Amino acid sequence: MNEGARRIIAVFLSFGLFSIVTIVGGFFLGSYSLYPFLFLALSHAIAAGVLGYIWPHIGWRIGLWMFLVWPLFLLVGFLLTADYLTGGHANWKDIFVVLLFCFSILPVGCIGGWLGAAIKGRLGGGTISPIKSSSA
């Protein structure tokens, strides 16, 4: 499998995790709970770790590819709620917390990918370094 296909898989996996985890989490935990975002960050770490284990030469950069869809999600979300945000009804503390969770997916995904590649290097007996890997 070539590098482009691996990147596309990581992007679509992130989109799938967002769709499934936030909808199911919001359904079971309520729409005003932050637990779906916590589960989303944890699911990204686990998915990035698995992808890092499968493709150790990509390593921590899996997190970058999994984060690729998030700026688009945030832009669309703010455009759809522009009237609410500018109307003075917004609770900025809640918005800041949600943004913090969304941007935490980048380092969490990078750490998950790095750990997956490090475990593969340790268990597989290979000499693949997750930090000094080839360019993706």
How far is 14 from 68, CA to CA, in rounded Å?
Answer: 8
SS3 85: helix
Extract the tokens encoding 73: 């999600």
pTM, two decimals, is 0.73
Identify whether 111 is part of a domain: yes
Identify whether 108 is part of a domain: yes
How far is 83 from 28, CA to CA, in rounded Å?
Answer: 28
Identify whether 133 is part of a domain: no
Residue 130: is its pLDDT beyond 60?
no
How far is 78 from 65, CA to CA, in rounded Å?
Answer: 22
Of 28 and 120, the one with more pLDDT: 120
Of 31 and 124, the one with more pLDDT: 124
What pLDDT does residue 118 have?
A: 92
Most confident among 26-30, 62-66, 97-101, 121-125 (mean pLDDT): 62-66
57-85 per-position pLDDT tens digit: 888 998 888 888 888 878 887 777 777 66
Residue 132: is its pLDDT beyond 70?
no
- For residues 22-48, one letter each, b for 16 or more C-beta atoms within 10 angstroms of the residue's C-beta and e for the rest, the string is beebeeeeeeeeeebbebbbebbbebb
Q: Number of folded domains in the chain?
A: 1
